[in-house]
Amino acid sequence: MENNDINTSLLEAKEQDGDSEVKFQKKVLAEMKKLWIVAGPAIFTRFSTFGVTVISQAFIGHIGATQLAAYALVQTVLLRFMNGILLGMSSALETLCGQAYGAKQHHMLGIYLQRSWVILTISSFILIPLFFVSTPLLKLLGQDDDIANVAGYISLWLIPVIFAFVISFTCQMYLQAQSKNMIITYLAAAALIIHVFFSWLLTVKYKFGLPGAMISTILAYWIPNVGQLIFVFCGGCRDTWKGFSWLAFKDLWPVVKLSLSSGAMICLELWYNSILVLLTGNMANAEVAIDALSICLNINGWEMMISLGFLAAAGVRVSNELGSGNAKAAKFSIMVIVLTSLSIGLMLFLFFLLFRGRLAYIFTTSKEVAKAVDWLSPLLACSILLNSIQPVLSGVAVGAGWQSIVAYVNITCYYLIGIPLGIVLGYVMHLEIRGIWIGMLVGTAVQTIVLIIITCRTDWDKQVTMAQQRVKKWFIPESGEPKGNEITQGA
């Protein structure tokens, strides 16, 4: 009799374990579905958008080596500088829209979007003069005169692209918070196809050279923006877009402060690789070095688009769950996103170790440049592996509103550890490009470890409370009448 009772207890325990396992699998699958609703379109959109840059670089590369080096310099230094500021500032919108949407304060998203337009447009006008002084600025930084002169010419063509970023980044954050980013994907794919056609038409068939390539680039950035605005204004977001409001101009300073902390966090990450290019420009045979490095950074950038898709998913999932008051769901989302991104990163790590310098011929016909790329491939593979973790953790920070904390982490790890170590290895130890890159990889690795520690030690129940307080403080009734002090700086 006792044996029967024991056997019955064991069977019940096994059934409970089986039920728990089934529930866990269902929970993982449900989270994966929510993850890919945001990450899938975000990854494809970023591939398409990044493809605009790569296509431009590919066509310019066949115009001449100096033009390729100049475009790479402008793209990785000046344009990334501008991109970092505007993308970073718009990530404040990701925090606000995500948490407001999770708290079901849907009408607030449209007001946040308009405020972000005001702030980013003013910021763009402030940044424009840098495009006019790019040639002397690059020469002052030690770049080759011929490359700097062509880079200055290219930079003037990119001024319209800066204003395209304002609409692009803000609409993406706004739509992602509602998991409505499929429209962005369709528009980005259409723009990529159009860009290939016009690049061929203007640079190959009619041989307009750099002007032809730049005209096609401007069109490729603006076409998706027009489509996104039509979608938002014409009923695609009925719950969150209630029309233009004068509240967009009210109490902007707290929004500016959150945008600046967001901008500092993202900029410090994006400028890191730009400094790598600048340090390379001071070496012997700079043209080959910059071409090889720009190819590696482009390949790394392609993979980075996957990680940025997961960054977007992490930001949306974490902000939505915190806004709705679910700490356990936020933690579970982080675990699923990190493991998914890491798995993809490991596969790509092995892929790029296998193909090495052969991938360089997509961008250039120079054997010397391809040989240099082959030499840098192991470092490229390591960068790809780190990229599968670090951006996701940054997305968690954006979702929770930790931008200012991560900004300090980035300053310490990147600029006090990575860059000084890279300079020592590159110039003092004479490892050149590899030494600089190794030092900067160490900085990224340290930053990743610190973010892991911060994420693991976070009290997520407290984060829920802070998110809900932020939503209440920033709340405006749907009637549009402010309720007391409607905006207070979030945590």
The predicted-structure confidence for 254-266, as pLDDT tens digits, reads as follows 778 878 877 777 7
Average pLDDT for 60-78:
83
d(CA 41, CA 39) in angstroms, rounded, equals: 6
Residue type present at position 187: L
- Pick the range with the lowest mean pLDDT from 64-68, 325-329, 330-334, 352-356: 352-356
Q: Which two tokens stand for residue 101?
A: 């949407």
Most confident of 89-103, 190-204, 270-284, 423-437: 190-204
d(CA 347, CA 351) in angstroms, rounded, equals: 6
Average pLDDT for 236-245:
88
Average pLDDT for 355-368:
74
Please, are residues 259 and 124 in contact by the beta-carbon 8 Å criterion?
A: no
The SS3 call for residue 457 is: coil
- The share of the chain scoring above pLDDT 90, in percent, equals 21
Average pLDDT, the chain: 82
Residue written as token pair 């010397």 = 368
Beta carbons within 8 Å of 241's beta carbon, 6+ residues apart: 109, 110, 113, 232, 233
Tens of pLDDT, residues 422-479: 889 888 888 877 888 888 889 989 999 999 999 989 888 888 888 777 766 665 666 5
Q: Which two tokens stand for residue 153?
A: 């010419």
pLDDT of residue 259: 81
d(CA 136, CA 410) in angstroms, rounded, equals: 29
Most confident of 7-21, 136-150, 219-233: 219-233
Average pLDDT for 7-35:
71
Distance of CA 58 to CAs 6, 80, 211, 362, 432, Å? 71, 18, 15, 8, 26
Average pLDDT for 206-214:
89
pLDDT of residue 277: 66
Tens of pLDDT, residues 137-167: 888 877 788 888 999 999 999 999 999 999 9
Please, are residues 48 and 189 in contact by the beta-carbon 8 Å criterion?
A: yes
Residue type present at position 467: A
Residue type present at position 446: V
Most confident of 10-14, 86-90, 135-139, 284-288: 135-139
- The share of the chain scoring above pLDDT 70, in percent, equals 87
- What confidence tier does 105 reach under pLDDT thresholds 50, 70, 90? confident
Average pLDDT for 30-49:
85
Q: Which two tokens stand for residue 287?
A: 């043209």
Average pLDDT for 299-320:
84
On the CB side of 145, CA atoms within 13 Å amount to 0
pLDDT exceeds 80 at position 388: yes
- What confidence tier does 17 reach under pLDDT thresholds 50, 70, 90? low
- What confidence tier does 64 reach under pLDDT thresholds 50, 70, 90? confident
d(CA 141, CA 134) in angstroms, rounded, equals: 10
Q: Which two tokens stand for residue 262?
A: 């967001």
pLDDT of residue 193: 92
Q: Which two tokens stand for residue 268?
A: 């410090």
Distance of CA 250 to CAs 123, 234, 314, Å? 17, 25, 30
- What confidence tier does 488 reach under pLDDT thresholds 50, 70, 90? very low
- Pick the range with the lowest mean pLDDT from 34-43, 281-290, 406-415, 451-460: 281-290
The pTM of this model reads: 0.78
Distance of CA 62 to CAs 122, 154, 204, 355, 362, Å? 37, 16, 9, 23, 11
Please, are residues 379 and 369 in contact by the beta-carbon 8 Å criterion?
A: no
Most confident of 93-102, 272-281, 467-476: 93-102
pLDDT of residue 387: 83
- Pick the range with the lowest mean pLDDT from 22-31, 233-242, 297-306, 377-386: 297-306
Element (H, E) at 270: helix 253-280
Q: How many helices (H) and strands (E) does the chain have?
A: 19, 0
Please, are residues 72 and 290 in contact by the beta-carbon 8 Å criterion?
A: yes
- What confidence tier does 491 reach under pLDDT thresholds 50, 70, 90? very low
Three-state secondary structure readout of 276-308:
HHHHHCCCCCHHHHHHHHHHHHHHHHHHHHHHH
Beta carbons within 8 Å of 484's beta carbon, 6+ residues apart: none
Residue written as token pair 């016909």 = 365
Most confident of 22-36, 40-54, 450-464: 450-464
pLDDT of residue 353: 82
pLDDT of residue 200: 93
